């Protein structure tokens, strides 16, 4: 097979180990095609780690002209909701993947799974056990000691069949009994020590309602669902490697289509957590404002923050496929995002912390329109008109009364350029009488410098963005930063947990910002580059009277800077 192209870099890359295994299966005739699946549990929102997994599933199938399924592992009615089913489908479609008509649910197979469980009971390969969950764990033994057989392990087949049927009818309370596979309590792999196949849960299911009160475990559901769908290659994260013998044992005992399980390393990103349990804790404890909070690594949170699907796919493609645990550097994700937004985002001016500026020698009743380029990277984006008047707003930090060395912006007596407009000089200032802070600047302008160039050839070192005071639109801006203070959130002092590393300044809300008049009524999801400030996205909280913008990412690119210096920070290997 020829090498495939890495879309992020445009260079050929060697086969990964999954592709090598698939090509061997195709060449030996083990399978005559490739069919994969992505099996999320609908108990939360997808995060970028899940995105890596379904990218591997879907793109592997696409490479070999195969098919891929979306199958929900809905075997735990206590934790699963239709909201999560809907959000998972929306996130996968947002990233650009389409499972066509191959949408399935594990609950589709509950009857077949039950029939197969009955078959194993009849074959003497499964039994009903009365041990409690704690007793099952105790009897299982340890990594160095064999387990102990359940006293119910050798129940007669007919008794097991009767008890299992009574379990299904709801005659027993939750946890009173389980159905277990009869394998080997001395097996070196603890997953093979009579694993639980069914447990009793008197809970309503989001699809089957109250039809069932016994629900299959994931280990019992996984391989059989793959086989029913004739999945050839069941691609899983590395923690399922020890479960593979059980996956194969069930398929072998039932004599059904022999799907093959292959494992890859879990995906991690610095400055965040990718445990669904921890993400749920962040939401429930109020550390964030829901699953789609722009600080969350969920795909819905990233979308709300302004990430593009192209940037996310680029990032995931660059991180490769491995069996070794690694951590992708968050700065690489931001680099991919800047690279994409630089091409597509319109340039606009916004003043986040306004300082009033009056041009004393500009006519009071005059307003003119200046032409501004929408995106220098995209000539087809065209230009727009900006209103310019006597009273403007600039950023507070673009003025210093006593400027330090290498400060080239506005200061008393200094001349600077206003972007797309004129040269101005600061002549005087106004202070607040109570605290002495500068509240207003008075300047003069050179009318011969319209467009930002002086006919006499004089140069200025500073160029500022600005807004016309009478035309500016008031806006709220939310400045997001890393949710955690350290690259590894688990890097904490003894006695503390990962939440000790939460960043108290991960969100700063500015309510008195100003933006160009053309941004009034901008649609949620619209992306812009605020000149000199970064990339921003319109939030769904926006109203007709007051738009809300989320900072997606700043302009400074630490990844590109480090790469230029000859270092690599894309993947940090973990032992």
CB count within 10 Å of CB 127 equals: 25
Q: How far apart are CA 175 and CA 179, in angstroms?
A: 11
Among 222, 238, 264, the domain boundary falls at 264
The pLDDT, as a whole number, for residue 278 is 97
More confident site: 271 or 326: 271
Average pLDDT over residues 7-17: 63
Are residues 293 and 185 part of one domain?
Answer: no
Please provide the size of the chain in residues.
575
Residue 185 pLDDT greater than 70, yes or no: yes
The arrangement of strands across the sheet holding 548-553 comes to 346-348, 527-530, 534-538, 548-553, 473-480, 507-515, 350-351
The pLDDT, as a whole number, for residue 63 is 95
Are residues 172 and 272 part of one domain?
Answer: no
Are residues 31 and 21 part of one domain?
Answer: yes
The pLDDT, as a whole number, for residue 6 is 41
Are residues 291 and 191 part of one domain?
Answer: no
Are residues 180 and 124 part of one domain?
Answer: yes
How much is the mean pLDDT over the chain? 93
Residue 1 pLDDT greater than 50, yes or no: no
The pLDDT, as a whole number, for residue 325 is 85
Residue 548 pLDDT greater than 80, yes or no: yes
At 564, is the pLDDT very low, low, confident or very high (cuts 50, 70, 90)? low
Are residues 70 and 165 part of one domain?
Answer: yes
Among 447, 465, 483, the domain boundary falls at 465
The phi, psi pair for 119, rounded to 5°, reads: -60, -45
What proportion of the chain, given as a percentage, has pLDDT over 90? 91
The arrangement of strands across the sheet holding 67-72 comes to 35-38, 67-72, 103-105
Residue in 295, 133, 110, 116 with CA at minimum distance from that of residue 215: 110
Please tell me which residue in 266, 278, 400, 409 is annotated as part of the active site.
Answer: 266
- The domain that holds 354 is classified in CATH as 2.40.240.10
The pLDDT, as a whole number, for residue 562 is 55
Residue with tokens 């001016």: 349
The pLDDT, as a whole number, for residue 434 is 87
CB count within 10 Å of CB 13 equals: 13
Signed CA dihedral, 168, 153, 130, 181: sign only: negative
pLDDT in tens, 103-126: 999 999 999 999 999 999 999 999
Are residues 30 and 71 part of one domain?
Answer: yes
Q: How far apart are CA 19 and CA 53, in angstroms?
A: 15
At 184, is the pLDDT very low, low, confident or very high (cuts 50, 70, 90)? very high
At 14, is the pLDDT very low, low, confident or very high (cuts 50, 70, 90)? confident
8 A C-beta contact, residue 502 and residue 287:
yes
Are residues 368 and 335 part of one domain?
Answer: no
The pLDDT, as a whole number, for residue 154 is 97
Q: 423 is written with which tokens?
A: 């040269």
At 9, is the pLDDT very low, low, confident or very high (cuts 50, 70, 90)? very low
pLDDT in tens, 349-403: 999 999 999 999 999 999 999 999 999 999 999 999 999 999 999 999 999 999 9
At 452, is the pLDDT very low, low, confident or very high (cuts 50, 70, 90)? confident
Strand partners, 351: 514
The pLDDT, as a whole number, for residue 558 is 61
8 A C-beta contact, residue 76 and residue 41:
yes
pLDDT in tens, 49-99: 999 999 999 999 999 999 999 999 999 999 999 999 999 999 999 999 999
Residue 471 pLDDT greater than 90, yes or no: yes
Per the rule left: phi > 0, alpha: psi between -120 and 50, beta: everything else, 490 is alpha
Average pLDDT over residues 271-286: 96
More confident site: 15 or 293: 293
8 A C-beta contact, residue 473 and residue 515:
yes
Q: Provide the CA 466 distance to its chain's centre, in angstroms.
A: 34
Annotated catalytic residue 41: yes
Lowest mean pLDDT among 3-12, 112-121, 212-221, 242-251: 3-12
Please tell me which residue in 15, 23, 41, 230 is annotated as part of the active site.
Answer: 41
Total number of domains in the chain: 3
- CA geometry: angle at 427 spanning 423 and 432, to 5°? 120
At 326, is the pLDDT very low, low, confident or very high (cuts 50, 70, 90)? confident
More confident site: 436 or 503: 503
Are residues 355 and 226 part of one domain?
Answer: no
Are residues 101 and 235 part of one domain?
Answer: yes
Residue 441: which residues within 8 A CB-CB, separation 6 or more? 355, 356, 357, 358, 394, 399, 410, 426, 428, 429, 430
Are residues 334 and 304 part of one domain?
Answer: yes
- The domain that holds 13 is classified in CATH as 3.40.50.620
Q: How far apart are CA 257 and CA 306, in angstroms?
A: 43
The pLDDT, as a whole number, for residue 568 is 40
Annotated catalytic residue 276: yes
Domain interval for residue 440: 350-465
Average pLDDT over residues 226-252: 97
Please tell me which residue in 276, 305, 318, 347 is annotated as part of the active site.
Answer: 276
Average pLDDT over residues 193-217: 97
Among 264, 288, 303, the domain boundary falls at 264
The pLDDT, as a whole number, for residue 544 is 87
Q: Provide the CA 415 distance to its chain's centre, in angstroms.
A: 45
Are residues 149 and 63 part of one domain?
Answer: yes
pLDDT in tens, 399-450: 999 999 999 999 999 999 999 999 999 999 999 988 989 999 999 999 999 9
8 A C-beta contact, residue 321 and residue 573:
no
What proportion of the chain, given as a percentage, has pLDDT over 70? 94
8 A C-beta contact, residue 418 and residue 389:
no
């Amino acid at each position: 097979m020829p090498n495939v192209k890495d879309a992020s870099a445009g260079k050929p890359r060697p086969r990964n180990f999954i592709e090598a295994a698939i090509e061997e299966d195709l060449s030996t005739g083990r399978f005559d095609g490739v069919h994969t699946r992505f099996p999320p549990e609908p108990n939360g929102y997808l995060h970028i780690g899940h995105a890596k997994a379904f990218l591997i599933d879907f793109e592997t199938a696409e490479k070999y002209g195969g098919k891929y399924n979306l199958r929900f592992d809905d075997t735990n009615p206590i934790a699963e909701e239709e909201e999560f089913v809907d959000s998972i489908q929306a996130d996968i479609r947002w990233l650009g993947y389409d499972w066509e008509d191959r949408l399935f649910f594990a609950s589709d197979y509950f009857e077949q799974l039950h029939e197969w469980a009955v078959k194993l009971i009849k074959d003497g390969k499964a039994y009903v056990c009365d041990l409690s969950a704690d007793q099952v764990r105790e009897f299982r033994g340890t990594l160095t000691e064999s387990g102990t057989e359940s006293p119910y392990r050798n129940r007669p087949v007919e008794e097991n069949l009767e008890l299992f049927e009574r379990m299904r009818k709801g005659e027993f309370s939750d946890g009173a009994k389980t159905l277990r596979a009869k394998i080997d309590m001395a097996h070196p792999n603890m997953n093979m020590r009579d694993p639980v196949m069914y447990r009793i849960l008197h809970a309503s299911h989001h699809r089957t309602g109250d039809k069932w009160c016994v629900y299959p475990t994931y280990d019992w559901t996984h391989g059989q669902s793959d086989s029913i769908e004739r999945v050839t290659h069941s691609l899983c994260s590395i923690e399922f490697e020890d479960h593979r013998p059980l996956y194969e044992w069930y398929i072998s005992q039932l004599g059904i289509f022999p799907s093959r399980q292959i494992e890859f390393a879990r995906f991690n990103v610095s400055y965040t957590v990718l445990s669904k349990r921890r993400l749920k804790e962040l939401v429930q404890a109020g550390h964030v404002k829901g699953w789609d909070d722009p600080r969350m690594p969920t795909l819905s949170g990233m979308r709300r923050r302004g990430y593009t699907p192209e940037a996310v796919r680029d990032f995931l493609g660059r991180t490769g496929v491995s069996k070794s645990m690694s951590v992708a550097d968050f700065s690489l994700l931001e680099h991919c995002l800047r690279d994409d937004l630089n091409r597509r985002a319109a340039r606009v001016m916004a003043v986040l912390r306004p300082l009033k500026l009056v041009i004393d020698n500009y006519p009071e009743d005059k307003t003119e329109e200046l032409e501004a380029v929408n995106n220098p990277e995209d000539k087809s984006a065209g230009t727009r008109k900006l209103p310019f008047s006597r009273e403007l707003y600039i950023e507070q930090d673009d003025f210093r009364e006593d400027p330090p060395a290498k400060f080239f912006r506005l200061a008393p007596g200094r001349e600077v350029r206003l972007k797309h407009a004129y040269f101005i000089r600061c002549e005087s200032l106004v202070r607040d009488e109570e605290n002495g802070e500068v509240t207003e600047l008075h300047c003069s302008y050179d009318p011969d410098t319209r467009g930002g160039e002086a006919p006499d050839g004089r140069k200025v070192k500073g160029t500022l963005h600005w807004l016309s005071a009478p035309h500016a639109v008031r806006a709220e801006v939310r400045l997001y930063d890393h949710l955690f203070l350290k690259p590894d959130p688990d890097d904490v002092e003894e006695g503390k947990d990962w939440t000790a590393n939460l960043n108290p300044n991960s969100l700063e809300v500015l309510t008195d910002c100003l933006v160009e008049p053309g941004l009034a009524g901008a649609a949620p999801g619209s992306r812009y580059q605020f000149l000199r400030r970064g990339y921003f996205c319109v939030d769904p909280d926006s109203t007709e009277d007051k738009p809300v913008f989320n900072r997606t990412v700043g302009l400074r690119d630490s990844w590109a800077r480090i790469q230029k210096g000859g270092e690599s920070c894309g993947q940090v290997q973990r032992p």
